[in-house]
Amino acid sequence: MSTIAFWSPFAEMGCSSSTLMSAYATAFQYRTRVLLVNTGQANCGIEAGIFQDEKLPADVLYSFEESGWDAIERLFISGSLNKHNLRDYTKPLLKDRLDLLTGSMNKSERSASEKGEVLKKLLETANQCYDLVLLDAERSNINPQLIVQQADYVVVVLNQNMRNLKQFFEEILPEQLNEQKLHVLINKYDSHSRVTLSNIKRGFRYKGSISAIPYTTGYLDAMNRRDVARYLQLENLSEKKDVRKGSLTAGIGELTRLIMDGAGMRTMLKRLERGA
């Protein structure tokens, strides 16, 4: 029903970890079916925080992978990709809530136009059987601008670096994202910095949607352990009744709510619940 892209014009902003975090949080908190898509290499990006498949030997150029992006490419080429078989090539992360389309295992390169056509067909198909499709544009094999263009809603991941913020709000936002629905996420947020959310909005006269995810050592450790799912589930359960302002749980909760509102999904889910 809706495609959400996580993107940043700057390197090392944490797009992948933010995408992964949001996918799990949305699946935990809402009655939605979510597809998380790795458009980059297998075991990298969003996959780096959850599990690791056996790596191919260095001399292998092609692998007939039974799931993931490579399988989708083969189905697309054969003209057989459809809503009935897409789920057969994804991996379930949360039963009936969250599936993952893993990245490419292959080292062979397709043209930019070919990759773009596969992405368009994938999104067209996925939106027939999932409520939300989340794309990480940080470590993608596809042109990030194409991913942004195909998205219904874009989460722009930034940090508190004033030079980056100035460039984004004064140049990139008006020139590249003028007509795009978006949410600004300040990642690894330090509440003691003078670059607060209110100062950012006031300083750049930004009236759009913005929120923050605080720097959290526990989440960093979970990414390193490739154990994000369990960490987020425990974090969510332990703070469910009394969410502390400024905590990771509060930041994630606000982010998912704003994304769902921006994409028009909360209103749609309420209608479906009333009609159930």
Instruction: Report the pLDDT averaged over residues 92-107.
Output: 90
Backbone angles phi, psi at 89, to 5 degrees: -110, 15
* The pLDDT value given to residue 207: 94
* The pLDDT value given to residue 211: 97
Per-residue model confidence as pLDDT tens digits over 73-84: 999 999 999 999
Instruction: Report the pLDDT averaged over residues 193-218.
Output: 96
Q: Are 214 and 251 in contact (CB under 8 A)?
A: yes
Burial of residue 53 (number of CB atoms within 10 Å: 0-12, 13-18, 19+): middle
Q: Could you tell me the sign of the dihedral formed by the alpha carbons of 115, 116, 122, 125, in that order?
A: negative
Instruction: Report the pLDDT averaged over residues 19-30.
Output: 92
Instruction: Report the pLDDT averaged over residues 110-129.
Output: 91
Instruction: Report the pLDDT averaged over residues 127-145.
Output: 92
Question: Could you tell me the two tokens for 15?
Answer: 């797009």
* The pLDDT value given to residue 34: 95
Question: Could you tell me the two tokens for 110?
Answer: 């397709």
Instruction: Report the pLDDT averaged over residues 115-138.
Output: 94
Q: Is the pLDDT of residue 60 over 60?
A: no
Per-residue model confidence as pLDDT tens digits over 225-261: 999 988 988 876 544 555 778 889 899 999 999 999 9
Instruction: Report the pLDDT averaged over residues 176-205.
Output: 95
* The pLDDT value given to residue 240: 54
CA distances 195 to 153, 158, 187, 188, 244, Å, are 25, 12, 12, 12, 21
* The pLDDT value given to residue 53: 52
Instruction: Report the pLDDT averaged over residues 43-57.
Output: 72
Domains, the chain, ordered by start: 2-275 (3.40.50.300)
* The pLDDT value given to residue 114: 87
* The pLDDT value given to residue 63: 43
* The pLDDT value given to residue 21: 94
Contacts of 139 (CB under 8 A, 6+ apart): 15, 16, 40, 41, 44, 45
Q: Is the pLDDT of residue 267 over 60?
A: no
Q: Which segment of 49-58, 141-150, 159-168 scores lowest on mean pLDDT?
A: 49-58
